[in-house]
Amino acid sequence: MMEIKILGPGCSRCKMLEKLTREVVEQNGIAANINKVEDIKEIMKYGIMTTPALVVNEKVEVKGRIPSTDEIKQILTR
């Protein structure tokens, strides 16, 4: 089971990344737990200075921008 974390304080960009990630997981039948991390101290543990960020299995894949659904799919299916 893949562990996905969306890091961000709850801004509109962070919510958009969460929405897109959930859509990609659903549409592609990916077995994953998706968690939204809004605690700044938790976010800092990943060395993230700009949000939103996408973390897959504890590896930071994207930070500071919203990737396209195609890019999210590539990250989650490789």
Report residue 24's pLDDT band, with 50, 70 and 90 as the boundaries: very high
Domain 2-77 sits in CATH 3.40.30.10: yes
Catalytic residue (one of 4, 14, 17, 43): 14
How is residue 41 written in tokens?
A: 């101290």
Catalytic residue status for 65: no
Strand stretches in 1-78, DSSP E? 2-7, 32-37, 53-56, 59-63
Burial 4-24 (b: 16+ CB within 10 A, else e): bbbbbeeeeebeebbebbeeb
Catalytic residue (one of 2, 3, 10, 11): 11
pLDDT at 10: 87
How is residue 51 written in tokens?
A: 């949000």
How is residue 29 written in tokens?
A: 């039948």
Domain ranges of the chain: 2-77
Catalytic residue status for 32: no
pLDDT at 30: 97
Does the global pTM surpass 0.85? yes
Phi, psi angle pair for 51, to nearest 5°: -105, 165
32-72 tens-digit pLDDT: 999 999 999 999 999 998 999 999 999 999 999 999 999 99
